A and B are shown apart, each in its own frame.
Chain A
Amino acid sequence: MTMRPMTYMPPVMFAVVAVALALGLLFVNPKEIPSALIGQPAPTFDLPSVDGTPHGLSSADLMGQVSIVNVFASWCVPCRIEHPLWVEVGASGEVPVYGLNYKDSQENASQWLADFGDPYTAIGADLNGRVGVDFGVYGVPETFVIDAEGLIQLKFIGPIDRFALENEILPKVRELQALMVADGAE
């Protein structure tokens, strides 16, 4: 005699629900909200510099080369954790790293850069956070990889670590740089 559906269905249904919930718990981070801006042009903006740094930042700076935009603030504790990696990337010269100083006081920001190092090619002071909102920023730090046409190609939420830098961010940068070279050669 074959087993009737009512005999094995309850445990099967339970297993399906349990697996679905387990996947949700283990592999989905509710704090990571998918960006609506991937493949979209970076917002248009023109921000003044942070006191004591030479250049402000405008959207025009992001055109013509692959670049990284790192959203940071002196009041942001995880920013301190990731900052040495940006200092490293800045020193390597592989890709320009631009800073978006999010809702910070000028005084604290320049002191912070003096204390921890300034790897940024240019920094825009986003005093009221409007440019941050245009970028879809909802927590600091966040990092964007922007291609030569000014399109946002990658968003990383939270502090980067070496693994994320070397396996996610820099490979994306190199891929886009190779594309740019290929386009230029045509």
Chain B
Amino acid sequence: MRDLVHPWAAAIIALMVGIGVAAHAQVVTEIIDPPLEDPVLEARAQTVHKQIRCLVCQNQSIHDSNAGLARDLRIIVRDRIAAGDTNDEAIQYLVNRYGDWVLLKPPFKAATLVLWLGPILILLLAGWSARTYYRATPAQVAQAVPLTEEEQRRLAEILDTEA
């Protein structure tokens, strides 16, 4: 019976899987940083981590990122929480240094008004446009295309014959 997979192909697949596993293992060891001993505090720290944007890889939270700076910030958040900060105080600590930018959810204030209200405004505008468009069209069409003389004559003819 012939082998289903060529021995060389099998060897290459094995090698690639091996490299994948090794690479993955390396990443895992890199991102480990010591959790707090108290599971309640650690859970709070992680809640904060998930709200803080990584400054290096901008669309990840520091919880998800394995950038060096994200790790440093995770440890700082843990330190603040262990020292008795509330979650909001720990977040404010980072906002003071990096600005609102570190928040994955931007706060609602004067500078972010357009960001929060813009979509609603655009939706209202679209609704208003649609309303005017659909309301105006039938009347406009009737008005814009009056019957030609030929059509008028034929219409009169038809009406006459029926009468």
A residues whose Cβ falls under 8 Å from a Cβ of B: 4-6, 9, 30, 33-37, 103, 128-130, 133-136, 138-139
Contacts and interface: CB of A to CB of B under 8 A. Distances in A.
A138 B94 CA distance: 12
B80 to A, nearest CB: 11
Contacts of A9: 129
A133 B129 CA distance: 49
Range for the number of chain B residues in contact with chain A? 20 to 34
Contact of A133 (B97, B100, B140): B97
Given A6-B133, A33-B98, A36-B96, A138 B72 contact: no
Chain B facing A: main interface SS? helix
Contacts of B99: 33-36, 136
B118 to A, nearest CB: 11
A139 B100 CA distance: 18
A161 to B, nearest CB: 22
Chain A facing B: main interface SS? loop
Interface of B: 55-56, 58, 68-69, 72-73, 76, 95-101, 129, 132-133, 136, 140
Q: Which of A30, A135, A136 has the most CB of B within 10 A?
A: A136
Nearest to B70: A138
Q: Which of B68, B97, B100, B136 has the most CB of A within 10 A?
A: B97
Contact of B69 (A5, A36, A134, A138): A138
Contact of B76 (A4, A30, A36, A133): A133
Given A33-B98, A34-B101, A36-B96, A139 B68 contact: no
Contacts of A138: 55-56, 69, 98
Contacts of B72: 128-130, 133
Nearest to A30: B58
A36 B58 CA distance: 17
A184 B129 CA distance: 63
Contacts of A133: 72-73, 76, 97
Contacts of A33: 55, 98-99, 101
